Amino acid sequence: MTPLDTLALSRGTVDRLTEKRAERAWLDAAWTDPGTRVLVVSDGQALARIDDEHAALRFVPPAEAPAGTRFLLGRDDADGVVYFGVSAPLPDPPPPGTRPAALREIGTLLGDRDAGLLTHAVALANWHDTHTHCPVDGTPTVPGPGGHVTVCPKDGTEHFPRTDPAVIMLVTDPDDRCLLARNAAWPGRRVSILAGFVDPGESAEQAVIREVAEETQIKVTNVRYVGSQPWPMPRSLMLGFRAEAPAGQAIVVDREEIAEAYWFSRDELLAAIRAREIALPPPVSIARQIIEQWYGAPLPSTWSDPPARR
Ligand SMILES: [Zn+2]
């Protein structure tokens, strides 16, 4: 099994310059450099130029950036350009040729650098938007110079961005059939592999075993890590796994979180997709990439495809 190396949101190329985040003089100089580029993000969206096959983010020089919480994204070592993000409303109307777009839509259309910058910026902006006060005493916090920490002016405590680990796993049976399930909250034909958040004090492998058992009553073994992708909607890190279900187990879904779940051979999966009985998650998701890794080739269909005519 080869590692997953095509994850859309795991492609960032810029140097994050973590050592510069506390250097106010360096940050101030970078912000006054007209060659610096700023990505404005709002509610998980940024402006981009988009066609059928490509997308490119719209950056502005610091002098044109709106007021808002600012954070250092890093430097592209290929050309030395420093990138910042700013959490602020997007211009309305957008400049000609651009429109707001989110990672789910353009994550696979962006180049490596832009995919990484938008993922990083959305994750930080989401954190700033929702973590505005000190959890100890409720005082409004103040962002640090690089925007990667906030400080309480009353008790001096420092607070750092949060990431919620989640596991997502493709389970196979002894015939190498894969387990796909429909979440009760999803419309009709959408199916995916199982997933869930890691509990406090739990390992990722333990979470895989627990979540599969909770959702289908299948007990899995041989849990293997296959790769990870940030999913800042709003703050997850998706940890991908494969796991095996020994023979002789019946699927029993909880019917609250999971409405139905079935084993699919490769042939059955392709037939069900072509008959439009099921639809797979989009290519931007780690779920889709893990399913295609098991299948052995790209698959047609996404959740956005129109249903079959009846
Ligand atoms: Zn405080």
The structure tokens 């990431």 sit at 163
Task: Compute the distance from residue 148 Cα to the ligand 1 centre, in Å.
Answer: 17
Copy the structure tokens of residue 178. 């894969």
Task: Compute the distance from residue 127 Cα to the ligand 1 centre, in Å.
Answer: 17
Task: Compute the distance from residue 154 Cα to the ligand 1 centre, in Å.
Answer: 5
- Residue 2: what pLDDT? 62
Task: Compute the distance from residue 145 Cα to the ligand 1 centre, in Å.
Answer: 18
Q: What is the 3-state secondary structure (H, E, C) of the chain?
A: CCCCCCCHHHCCCCECCHHHCCCHHHHHHHHHCCCCEEEEEECCEEEEEECCCCEEECCECHHHCCCCEEEEEEECCCCCCEEEEEECCCCCCCCCCCEEEEHHHHCCCECHHHHHHHHHHHHHHHHHHHCCECCCCCCECEECCCCCCEECCCCCCEECCCCEEEEEEEEECCCCCEEEEEECCCCCCECECEEEECCCCCCHHHHHHHHHHHHHCCCCEEEEEEEEEEECCCCEEEEEEEEECCCCCCCCCCCCCEEEEEEECHHHHHHHHHCCCCECCCCCCHHHHHHHHHHCCCCCCCCCCCCCCC
User: Hey, which residues does 238 pair with through a beta bridge?
Assistant: 166, 229
Q: What is the pLDDT of residues 65-122, one digit of tens each?
A: 999 999 999 999 999 999 999 999 999 999 999 999 999 999 999 999 999 999 999 9
Task: Compute the distance from residue 7 Cα to the ligand 1 centre, in Å.
Answer: 38
Task: Compute the distance from residue 254 Cα to the ligand 1 centre, in Å.
Answer: 42
Task: Compute the distance from residue 126 Cα to the ligand 1 centre, in Å.
Answer: 21
Determine the Cα–Cα distance for residues 110 and 129; give it in Å rounded to an integer: 25
Task: Compute the distance from residue 79 Cα to the ligand 1 centre, in Å.
Answer: 41
Task: Compute the distance from residue 163 Cα to the ligand 1 centre, in Å.
Answer: 21
Q: For the chain, 310 residues long, give each residue's pLDDT as a single digit of tens.
A: 666 878 999 999 999 999 999 999 999 999 999 999 999 999 999 999 999 899 999 999 999 999 999 999 999 999 999 999 999 999 999 999 999 999 999 999 999 999 999 999 999 999 999 999 999 999 999 999 999 999 999 999 999 999 999 999 999 999 999 999 999 988 889 999 999 999 999 999 999 999 999 999 999 999 999 999 999 999 999 999 999 999 999 999 988 889 999 999 999 999 999 999 999 999 999 999 999 999 999 999 777 755 544 3
Determine the Cα–Cα distance for residues 296 and 96; give it in Å rounded to an integer: 42
Determine the Cα–Cα distance for residues 249 and 268; give it in Å rounded to an integer: 20
Q: Rounded to 5 degrees, what are φ and ψ at 116?
A: -70, -40
Task: Compute the distance from residue 162 Cα to the ligand 1 centre, in Å.
Answer: 17
Task: Compute the distance from residue 144 Cα to the ligand 1 centre, in Å.
Answer: 14
Supply the pTM of this predicted model: 0.94
